[in-house]
A and B are shown apart, each in its own frame.
Chain A
C-alpha cells in the first residue's frame, strides 16, 4: 500500500498561501524561470524564448543551404556576365528576391504557428464533469466529440487527450510537435515547424517568392548559357566555361516543379479558405461537386478569402514564452512533480520521465501486493484514441524510438479507485510492437470526485512489462 501512495496536492491549500509553504531560502536561490523552459510540447526555443522551432528540424539547414548555395553561385558566376551583356537590374532583382525568400523562411520557421496552451487542471476537471462518462472506469473512455453549429453547419469538435480540452474548430494536434495548433495546415519538415494560423502567411510568401526566385534564376542561367554559346559557337564550350551554371540549372529544374506545384495548390487553398489538413481529409468537399458549398469558414468571395488569410489581423502568441513562471512552480521537490496547476510543469519532460520511471520501477520491483490491489481488466496495450497528427502529406512518420523524453501520452481517466492503476499504452497506432513501455506516474491535483493520472511513457529498457495481471 505504501508503494501506491502519492501526494495529493490540494489546490485550495496552494492558492491560499502560495508563498508561506515555501522555504524562503530555496526561493531566493532559484532564478526566475521563464515559461518556455517548462513548455510541455516538443519544441526548441532560442534567444531566451523569442524564437521557437520544432524539435525535429533536420531539413531546415538543407533548405537554407540549397537556397544560399544556389543564389551564391548565381551571383558569383552568372551575374557578372549578365550585367555586362544585359542589365544591372538582374542582380538587384535577384538580391531582393533572395532576401525576401530567406526572411520569409526564417520567419516561418521561428514563429509560433498558433500553439494552444494546454488546459489547466481545473479546466480539465470542469470539462470532465460536463462529459457524461458512464460505465466502468477501468478502461479508457471512448473518444469524445462535441457537435456544434458553425454557420448552420454541423462540425464535430474532438477532445484532445494530450491537451485535455476540446479542440476549437480547425485546430489539430501535431504529433511531431506534441501541440495543438490553431488552423493547422501541416507540419513542414523543410521549414522545420508546423504551419498554422500565425505563420501561414509567411509560409505562403516563402513559397511564392521561392517560385519567383527559382524561375528567375532558371531563366537567367538559360539566358547566360545561350548568350555564351552564341558568342563561342558551342554549348559545350559555354558550359565548360561556366560549370556552376549547370549545377544551378539542375537544382532549379527539380525545384521548380515541386515549388510551383505547391504554390499553385496553396493559392487554391487560400482562395477557398481551406487548410491542407481539411483538403486532404476531404472535410468539406464531396458535396454536390462545388468545393465551397461545404466549407463553413469561407466568405464565398475569393478576394475576401485571400485578405482574411493573408492580410488579416495578426493574433498574438498564446503560449507566452517569455513570461515568468510564478515562484511556487519552481519547487524542485517531488511534490512539484505531482502538481499540474499551471499549463506548464516546472520540470522538463526528460527529467520527469526518467525520474518517475525509475521511481515506478523501484516500487514495482519491491512491492508484492501491488498487483493484487490494482483492479484487473485494464487494457492490453491498446492504442490510445489520440489523434495522431493529421499532417499526413508533408511529414515523415514520427520516429518513436528516441528515448524517454520524446514519448509523452497523457490521458485523463475517470477512476474512483484511489490506487494507481498502471496502464500501458502505445502512442502510435501503427507501432504496436512497442511493448517495452514503462509506465510512470505523475498525478494531477485531483478534484474532489476524480482522480486523474498523467502517464509518461518511455522507450526504456526492454522489460516487457504489462501490468494488470
Chain B
C-alpha cells in the first residue's frame, strides 16, 4: 500500500536514523573519486552490487568531467583568448557533467534508494568531500 513514497513525504514523515558518509578515494591523485567500499550500515538495506554500481558510475562521471582531453584544452584556450568572457554565455564542460550527475543521482534515488528508505545527497552540496547517504527509520513500510 502506497509503497512509492515521494522523497518529500519521506523526509517529512520519517526520522533520520543514521547517516553514512562515503569518503573520497585519493589513490589516483586529486581527481574526484569516491571509495567503493561497501559500508556496514547499509548491509541490511541495499544490495552490495547495486551500491557499487552507483558509486562506480559516479566515479566515471566525475572522471569525465575532469578529463584532460582536447575538449577541455580547446575550451581553456578559447577562454583565455576571450579574456574569460566566454563563460558568461557558455557553460563549462565540468558544469555540464555536474548537471548530468545531479540527474543521475535523482534518478537513482527515485528508483533504487528511496524505496529502501535511503537518500543519496549530491556530493556537490557537500563540497565534493563525501557522498552522504541518509538512512531513514523504517516506520511506514512495515504494514
Which residues from chain A sit less than 8 Å from chain B, CB to CB?
11-12, 15-17, 99-100, 103-104, 107, 116-117, 119-120, 122-123, 126, 148-151, 155, 157, 165, 168-170, 182-183, 201-202, 205, 296-297, 304, 307-308, 310-316, 318-320, 343
Contacts and interface: CB of A to CB of B under 8 A. Distances in A.
Interface in B81-102: 83-84, 87, 92-95, 98
A175 to B, nearest CB: 20
A169 B92 contact: no
Given A308-B68, A311-B76, A313-B94, A116 B129 contact: yes
Contact of B94 (A17, A120, A123, A314): A314
A296 B30 CA distance: 10
Label chain A's interface by main secondary structure: mixed
9 contacts: A100-B83, A123-B21, A150-B28, A151-B27, A168-B129, A311-B77, A313-B67, A316-B92, A343-B127
A165 to B, nearest CB: 6
B5 interface: no
A296 B73 contact: no
Categorize the interface residue count of chain B. Answer: 35 or more
B15 A16 contact: yes
B12 A17 contact: yes
Contact of B26 (A16, A99, A169, A343): A169
Given A100-B83, A168-B30, A313 B130 contact: no
A11 B26 contact: no
B30 A170 contact: yes
Interface string B11-27: 11011100101001011
Contacts of A202: 84
A158 to B, nearest CB: 13
Contacts of B93: 313
Given A16-B12, A313-B65, A314-B92, 7 more contacts: A149-B27, A150-B28, A169-B30, A182-B30, A304-B68, A314-B87, A320-B125
B129 A205 contact: no
Interface in B102-119: none
Most chain A Cβ neighbours within 10 Å, of B11, B75, B80, B127: B127
Interface string B45-74: 000000000000000000001111000110
A220 to B, nearest CB: 23
A151 B28 contact: yes
A201 B84 CA distance: 11
Contacts of B98: 316
A307 B132 CA distance: 33
